[in-house]
Each structure stands twice: as structure tokens, then as C-alpha cells.
Amino acid sequence: MAPAQSKLAQQSALTGLRAKGGAAVFAALVALVYLRRKVVQAAAEAAEKRNRQMLTTPQIELAQRDLYNPLPGGARELLVPARGRVSKVLIKPTKATTFARHRPLFRKPPPAPRSASSTAPPSAGAAAQRVGVNKEFFRQLSAIFRIIIPHATSKEVWLVGAHTAFLLLRTYLSLLVAQLDGKLVGDLVSANGKGFLRGLCYWFLLAIPSVYTNAMIRFLQSKLSISFRTRLTRYVHDLYLDKNATFYKVVNLDSRIGASGADQFVTTDINRFCETLSALYSNVSKPTLDLILFNIQLGRSIGGRGSVGLFLSYLATAWILRKVTPAFGKLAAIEAKLEGDFRAAHARLIINSEEVAFYDGAPIEKDILTKAYLRLIKHVNSIYKMRILYGMTEDMVVKYLWSAAGYCLISIPVFFPKARKLAAAAAGTSVETKDPAKQKGGDGLSISQRTENYISNRRLLLSLADAGGRLMLSWKDLSELAGSTSRVYTLLSTLHDLSTSTYTSLPRPADLAPNAPFYDLGTLNGRFITDAPPEEGVTLDKVPIVAPAPGVARGGEELVHQLSVRVKPGEHLLITGGNGTGKTAIARVLAGLWPVWDGVVVRPDDTKIMFLPQRPYLSSGSLRDQIIYPHSYPDFVKSGKTDEDLMEILRKVHLSYLPSREGGYDVRKEWKDILSGGEKQRMGMARLFYHLPKYGVLDECTSAVSTDVEGSMYQHAKDVGITLMTISHRPSLFKHHMYLLRLTGHEGQWEMTQIGEAEQSLSFQKEIESLQAKLAEVETWKNRLSTIDAELHFKET
Ligand SMILES: Nc1ncnc2c1ncn2[C@@H]1O[C@H](COP(=O)(O)OP(=O)(O)OP(=O)(O)O)[C@@H](O)[C@H]1O
């Protein structure tokens, strides 16, 4: 063919190719546009369908009215609003036998020996000293594992299995990618077009399972974390909100969690623990697997001695990093505590916002909050500073030293062909190539083969360095996990102890007089009987009323000495006395919130006795929920009462206007912000009339209610058969009671009288006081009279 003809033919072939290419691109574009329209259409239809199924806000409120559906065996079906619908979640309470089985696992280890002079209990700080990757950490972790993976067939085991399978698959795919990478570059260097295109096709084929695998690993890791968190949170809730008011005791009878409460532990620390733990599994298992497999693969080209060299370099790295790693576990535990303090300071402000606003206390509150924040930030900053050296060392070792070591190792077969031949012989492969033209080096390999080997090995080395880096990083994660493990374990062991009324014991102070009582929480000799028949009344027999002082060496403080009282049905008792003499403390002992150190307390069960506290409490929920608290809607339905009955109760407490004003019984609002102080207290009385207990312990619960309304409510309570035990300073309440218990406030003394006598002596006393007050003003009136006289005289003249 003439050159001109061949050029023409080439040009026409090129034009044909361009035309075909253009048509193909056009067709692809049309297909893409069509596909996009279809996808958008399908998404819009799905969204519309979802919207049609979604409930409006009032519908959601109504659907949640029930809160839960009771199921046999104590289980419940909670109604949880999520994504515009209310879904039902089955909640099975943790069995008492499970708690009993776990309790020994959450006992504190024997305390470390302390100096004889030390009488203070171990502080949270001291506990934080021991936090780290040590034997105690693994003991605590294994105890928590019993909760998060309860048995061999738990959902979490399957999740871990699936996760592991995907991790293995990813490692396998990484190996294939490394080989293919080398092959592609090898084909490129040897100008093997067909091989190159085939390689590219494999490349894309590998991409599909690779991206799916990566996405699934992330998904399963999050799923595992959520699963762990759900198990732990439910377990903690079952312990924390048990019948023994453990949530109260955590703050008032124990010093391990601290006054800020358990919220930071339950909301943040558990979450952090679960996230770190599930991430750690993939952060440890994947690089470990990578290290093993990649080393085997690499060992084929660099030989046994090379592998030994690599292994030694890992050991050296681990040693260096260990030396420069700060105590991340301890630091993480302190950080979590400081975060909790900061959060608690904010929570306090929210709860007391109105009082603070009245006092104009914003500047000082700001200082308190800022101080809490700065304490946290100073600590976090110091961690960041410590991380500089650690990060530099880690980068230097893992990225640079390892890569350099790797380069040296893969150069061995190139520069020392004998080693290569030995390695090849060991692997059973031949290094000779048939095409002498392609033999370029002393190692007997062509440039393309050498490049292919180099690229594959380099990729393996980079993956190895990456795996090593991640493994080193996971040591840091492990230390941080030790920090959150210690927090979660502290929470669990405190809850286990308090739910069984096991308190931390303290030694008797040496300077305490031998006959002085020592009220140590670890030594309780009293009896608390809560299932007496109501006719037997409420009895306290020689019971010291003691304010507990957890963690304080001198022990609790006696407020009332050996109190003996018996209230039989209909014998209404009024408890009075100065501020801080221990009136509410008596109610706390009766309710079982404070321990009985000595003597005997006898009372009927919780359904027959009700306590109305000093500070009115309004729960989150509907208006009906406020009246029936602590019942919820299913209990209300079960009780057979109706909204008409509720209206009758509201009339008795002068709140009958509320349902119409607020929009019915089902409306949900932030009631604590809506109702006035007096209305809140009247709502408390409404609860009393709803539940109709045999005994009502009323602690200053009508102090903000006008005297006439208060009187009518007390009268109604008596009319419906409630025996009252009232704590109050108001003389107007005397007439509703038969007995008066007066706390003198002097060395825990108290006296019991019949109301007639007391009322009389008090009225004489009051009369004398009022006359004395009037006499004191006589001089003032005289002065005023002479001033007026003088002014009148002045005007006349
Ligand atoms: N959780 C607690 N831990 C330790 N001491 C407490 C606790 N709660 C109250 N106290 C202390 O116990 C004492 C009695 O408190 P209580 O609430 O019984 O007083 P009160 O007689 O009801 O006073 P008031 O008339 O002011 O309500 C007070 O000195 C108080 O500071």
C-alpha cells in the first residue's frame, strides 16, 4: 500500500472510530439522564409514601399517651416516637438472678495497703491513678463483657462474626489489589496493551467488592457499638431506677459517682466505652491480620532473613513507642470526669434558672461555668501537648523508619541475586526468563518483572506500615479504653452495691469519745419493715434520725435521738420544729431513702403510704400524667377511673379550670414552667386524692397555698380516710391533727403531745408575743403623735 493511501485509510479509520466513540458517549449520556430521572422519581415516590404514613405532632402525642403496653412477665412494649411514627420496642427487665450472678464480678478488689495515719476514704483521684492497661483493666473488661455479650448465641456474637468475615475479605482484597497493581505497572513498562486493559477490567471488578466491604465494616462496627450501648444502658437503667431508689442513693449515700450525679456516666461514658471497644476490635484485628498475611507474602520475595529483619524492626518500634506513650487511660478518665462536672454545672443552671434570674446571678454563674470549662480545657490542652512528642515519634518510626527498612529489604534480591535465588528456590519458582533479550539485571529478571515485583512489594510495605501504624495507634485506643472501662465499671459496681444497700465502711476515728455514737454507713443495725398491715400503723421504735455523710471520716450526724412514735389509723400527726432540726429527715427514713442505723421502723407497703415532698415535682407528659403520677396511662385505665373522676379531684384542689385552659388532659407541656408555685403544690394534693393511700406523709407541701384552700384540702383528705403525718410550721394546721411531735433542735431532743394542750399553750404563747410586739411600738406611736401635734400647731400659727 502506497504511503498516501495508507494515510487515507488511517484517517478514515480514525474518523469512523471518532464517530463510533461519539455515538457511544451520546448513548451513555442519554442512558445516564434516563437513569437519573428514574432514580429521582423513585425517591420522590418513596418520600411521598413515607410522608403519607407519617403522623402529625398531635397524633404522635396521642399515640404516645400510653407510654407502654404491659406484657405478661413484667415485660413492656415501650412506645417510642421515631421518624414521624411511633414504634413499639419490647423491653424485658433484667432478671434478679442475672444481677445476683453478676454482683460478685462488680465487687471492688481489696484496697491497696494505705498508711496507718490515713483515715480518709480513697478518692476518685486515687482510683484514677491505677487506671491503665493492666490486670485490673482486663478483670473489669471481662466483667462488663458478661453484660454486653450475655451468651454465645447473642446478636453481638453474630455481629462480631460478620465483622470478622468482612475484615478477612478486605485483607484478601488488599492482597489482590497489591498484586494487580504490580501487574498493571509491569504491563505498562513492557508495553503489553492487552494485558494492561485486562488488568484495568480486573481493577474495576475488584473495586465493587472492595467498596462494599469497606462500607459494611463501618456499618457493622457502628451496629456493634449501638448494640453494646443498648445492652449496657438498659442494664444500668434497671439497676439505677430500681425499687430501692438507687438513683437517690448514688448522690446522697455514696461518694464514688460524685455529687454531679450519674448522668455523665450513663449518657457519655457508656457511649464512649462502646465506641472505643467496637472500633478497637477492627483496629486491632485488621492490622494484625494484615501484618501476618502481608509478611508472609512479602517473605516470598525478600526471604526468611528479610522477614526476621522486619519482625525485629516491629519489636524495636513497639519498644520505642511504649517509652514515649503517656498514660492515656488515666488522662481519659480525668477528662471524662471534668466533662461531667462542666455538664453538671450547666444542668444546675437550667434547673435553677428562675432563682438565678431573680437574684441577677448571671455574672457569678458565668464565672462558675467558665471555671469548670477552663479546668477541662487546661487538662485537654495538656493532653494535646503530650501528644506532640508521641505523634512525632510515631510518625517517624512508622512512616519513615519502617519504609526505609522496607526499601532495604526489597533491595536485597536486586543487589544480592544469591539471596533472591535462594528465596525463589524456597518458594519453588524459577527466576530465569526464557527471553534473553529481556534479561537485564544480575537478578535474572527483566525490567518489567522487576518493576512489577517492586510495585507489589512497595504496596505491601505501605500496607504493612499502615497496619503497623494502626496497631500502634490502637495501643493508645486501648489505654483510652482502660479509662472509660474504669468509669463504666465504677458506675456498675456502685449501682450493684447501692441496690443491695451495701455501703462503703469507714474505720472509727481515733479521737472520737468511746461512748459517742459513730454512724458509719457500713454498720447498720436497724430494721426496716415495709409490709405491715395498714391497721398496725406507722411505727418508729428507738430510731436515731441521722444525716448520712458518705466518705466523711467522722460519720453521719445525729439529728433526732432515739425517736419513738406510733401513728395508728386516724391519729393524724403534726411534726414541727425549727429549720434543720430533722423533720424532713424523719420522712426520708420512713421512705427508706436514709438508712435505719438502729431500732425498728414498721410501715405498710408503697401502695398504702404516700410521700408528698417539700419541692413539688412535675413530670414530663400530659396533664393527666401530672395528676396520676407515678402511674402512667395504662395503670389509669386499669384502675377503672375516668377523666370525670379526675375533674372531681381537680375541683377538690381548686384546679378545675386547668383542663379547659390548657386544652384537655392529653396535652403535653413543660408543666413545671407553666404552673405557679401554689398550683404545683395543689397538683401534689390532687395526686394524693387520686391514689388515696392509707397514710399520707406531707412535707410542707401546702406552704404556698392560701390557708382557706389548704384547710379544705386537709379536711377532704381526712374525709376520704387518709391518716396524715404532716410536717409544717403553720399553726392553722393544728386543728386537723391529733398529735404534735416537736423537735427541739437541742441535742436531738423531741417531745410528743396531744394537740389540744399544745394548741392551747401555743395560742397563749402567741397572744403574749403579739401583746409584747404591740407594746414595743407604743413609743413609736407616741413620737408620731407629738410630731403631728407640732405640725398642726405650726400651721395654725
Ligand atoms: N442529703 C443529705 N446529706 C446530709 N445531710 C443532709 C442531707 N439533707 C439534709 N441534710 C441535713 O440534715 C439536717 C436536717 O435536714 P431536714 O431537711 O430534715 O431539715 P428540716 O427540719 O426539714 O428543715 P426545714 O424546716 O428547713 O425544711 C440539716 O442540717 C441538713 O443540712
Ligand 1 centre and the CA of 618: distance in Å? 22
Average pLDDT over residues 286-301: 75
Average pLDDT over residues 333-338: 85
Query: Does residue 795 surpass a pLDDT of 70?
Result: no
Cell numbers given for 706:
392560701
- Ligand 1 atom nearest 251 alpha carbon: 1
Q: Would you list the DSSP string of 651-705?
A: HHTT-TTHHHHHTSSS-EE-HHHHS-HHHHHHHHHHHHHHH--SEEEEESTTTTS
- pLDDT number for residue 116: 36
Ligand 1 centre and the CA of 740: distance in Å? 20
Ligand 1 centre and the CA of 582: distance in Å? 6
- Ligand 1 atom nearest 700 alpha carbon: 27
Ligand 1 centre and the CA of 467: distance in Å? 60
Q: What percentage of the chain carries pLDDT values higher than 70?
A: 81
**pLDDT-derived band at 274, boundaries 50, 70, 90:** very high
Average pLDDT over residues 354-382: 88
Q: How far apart, in whole angstroms, are the C-alpha atoms of residue 289 and residue 307?
A: 16
Q: Would you list the DSSP string of 473-524?
A: HHHHHHHHHHHHHHHHHHHHHHHHHHHTT-----PPPTTS-TTS--B-TT--
Query: Does residue 417 surpass a pLDDT of 80?
Result: no
Q: How far apart, in whole angstroms, are the C-alpha atoms of residue 767 and residue 773?
A: 10
Query: Does residue 7 surpass a pLDDT of 70?
Result: no
The protein residue with its alpha carbon nearest to ligand 1, atom 19, reads 580
- pLDDT number for residue 62: 66
- Ligand 1 atom nearest 743 alpha carbon: 21
- pLDDT number for residue 146: 94
The answer to whether the CB of 623 falls within 8 A of the CB of 666 is yes
Query: Does residue 406 surpass a pLDDT of 80?
Result: no
The protein residue with its alpha carbon nearest to ligand 1, atom 6, reads 547
Interval 620-639: pLDDT, tens: 888 999 999 998 888 898 89
Query: Does residue 243 surpass a pLDDT of 60?
Result: yes
The protein residue with its alpha carbon nearest to ligand 1, atom 20, reads 580
Interval 573-625: pLDDT, tens: 999 998 889 999 999 999 999 999 999 999 999 899 999 998 889 988 889 99
The answer to whether the CB of 585 falls within 8 A of the CB of 579 is no
Average pLDDT over residues 216-226: 92
The protein residue with its alpha carbon nearest to ligand 1, atom 10, reads 547
Query: Is the pLDDT higher at 271 or at 443?
Result: 271
**pLDDT-derived band at 655, boundaries 50, 70, 90:** very high
The answer to whether the CB of 493 falls within 8 A of the CB of 534 is no
**pLDDT-derived band at 112, boundaries 50, 70, 90:** very low
Query: Does residue 110 surpass a pLDDT of 80?
Result: no
The protein residue with its alpha carbon nearest to ligand 1, atom 4, reads 547
In the chain, residues under CATH classification 1.20.1560.10 are: 105-110+124-499
Global model pTM greater than 0.80: no
- pLDDT number for residue 103: 93
Query: Does residue 230 surpass a pLDDT of 80?
Result: yes
| Closest CA relative to residue 236, chosen from 595, 503, 480, 489 | 489
Angle, helices 447-499 vs 135-148, to 10°: value is: 80
Average pLDDT over residues 530-557: 90
- Ligand 1 atom nearest 587 alpha carbon: 18
CATH class of the region 527-762: alpha beta
Ligand 1 centre and the CA of 743: distance in Å? 13
Q: How far apart, in whole angstroms, are the C-alpha atoms of residue 510 and residue 612?
A: 41
Query: Does residue 434 surpass a pLDDT of 80?
Result: no
Query: Does residue 683 surpass a pLDDT of 90?
Result: yes
Mutational test site, ligand 1, from 558, 560, 575, 583, max ligand atoms within 8 Å of CB: 583
Average pLDDT over residues 386-402: 79
Q: What are phi and psi of 120, to 5 degrees?
A: -75, 145
The protein residue with its alpha carbon nearest to ligand 1, atom 25, reads 579
Burial (CB count within 10 angstroms: exposed 0-12, middle 13-18, buried 19+), residue 788 = exposed
Decide: helix, strand or coil at residue 787.
Answer: helix
- pLDDT number for residue 125: 41
- pLDDT number for residue 63: 66
**pLDDT-derived band at 427, boundaries 50, 70, 90:** very low
Q: How far apart, in whole angstroms, are the C-alpha atoms of residue 46 and residue 323?
A: 57
Q: How far apart, in whole angstroms, are the C-alpha atoms of residue 18 and residue 602?
A: 99
**pLDDT-derived band at 713, boundaries 50, 70, 90:** very high
- pLDDT number for residue 426: 46
Task: Describe the strand order of the beta sheet including 76-82 as a list of residue ranges.
Answer: 68-70, 76-82, 85-91
The protein residue with its alpha carbon nearest to ligand 1, atom 12, reads 547
Query: Does residue 464 surpass a pLDDT of 70?
Result: yes
Please, which residues bridge with residue 514 across strands?
none
The protein residue with its alpha carbon nearest to ligand 1, atom 28, reads 580
Query: Is the pLDDT higher at 769 or at 142?
Result: 142
Tell me the pLDDT of the chain averaged across its residues: 81
The answer to whether the CB of 487 falls within 8 A of the CB of 268 is no
Query: Does residue 666 surpass a pLDDT of 70?
Result: yes
List, in order, residues 6 or more apart from 792 with CB less than 8 Å away: none
The protein residue with its alpha carbon nearest to ligand 1, atom 8, reads 547
The protein residue with its alpha carbon nearest to ligand 1, atom 11, reads 547
Query: Does residue 691 surpass a pLDDT of 80?
Result: yes
- Ligand 1 atom nearest 252 alpha carbon: 1
Query: Does residue 760 surpass a pLDDT of 80?
Result: no
Estimate to the nearest angstrom the gap between the alpha carbon of 301 and the chain centroid. 51
- Weakest-pLDDT range from 118-127, 226-235, 329-338: 118-127
- pLDDT number for residue 661: 93
Q: How many CB atoms lie within 10 A of CB 737?
A: 24
Decide: helix, strand or coil at residue 612.
Answer: strand
The protein residue with its alpha carbon nearest to ligand 1, atom 26, reads 579
β pairing state of 76-82 and 68-70: antiparallel
The protein residue with its alpha carbon nearest to ligand 1, atom 1, reads 252
The protein residue with its alpha carbon nearest to ligand 1, atom 30, reads 580
Query: Does residue 301 surpass a pLDDT of 70?
Result: no
Ligand 1 centre and the CA of 512: distance in Å? 23
- Ligand 1 atom nearest 594 alpha carbon: 1
- Ligand 1 atom nearest 585 alpha carbon: 18
- Ligand 1 atom nearest 614 alpha carbon: 27
- pLDDT number for residue 563: 95
Average pLDDT over residues 753-763: 66
Q: How many CB atoms lie within 10 A of CB 723?
A: 24
Interval 10-37: pLDDT, tens: 455 445 545 555 565 566 667 767 777 7
- pLDDT number for residue 710: 92
Q: Would you list the DSSP string of 15-59?
A: HHHHHHHHHHHHHHHHHHHHHHHHHHHHHHHHHHHHHHHPPPHHH
Mutational test site, ligand 1, from 563, 581, 586, 698, max ligand atoms within 8 Å of CB: 581
Query: Is the pLDDT higher at 185 or at 652?
Result: 652
Spell out which residues line ligand 1, taking CB within 6 angstroms.
252, 547-548, 559, 577, 579-585
Q: How many CB atoms lie within 10 A of CB 537?
A: 20
**pLDDT-derived band at 244, boundaries 50, 70, 90:** confident
Length of the chain in terms of residues written: 797
The answer to whether the CB of 593 falls within 8 A of the CB of 248 is yes
Interval 160-188: pLDDT, tens: 999 999 988 988 888 888 788 878 888 88
Q: Is the peptide bond before 544 cis (omega within 30 degrees of 0)?
A: no
- pLDDT number for residue 644: 94
Ligand 1 centre and the CA of 575: distance in Å? 14
Average pLDDT over residues 310-319: 73
One of 1.20.1560.10, 1.10.3720.10, 2.40.50.140, 3.40.50.620 is the CATH number of 105-110+124-499, namely: 1.20.1560.10
In the chain, residues under CATH classification 3.40.50.300 are: 527-762
Q: How far is CA 516 from CA 181, 545, 580, in A?
A: 83, 15, 22
Average pLDDT over residues 49-53: 63
Q: How far is CA 281 from CA 217, 222, 356, in A?
A: 11, 12, 47
- pLDDT number for residue 23: 63
Ligand 1 centre and the CA of 528: distance in Å? 21
The complex's ipTM? 0.93
- pLDDT number for residue 363: 87
Q: What percentage of the chain carries pLDDT values higher than 90?
A: 33
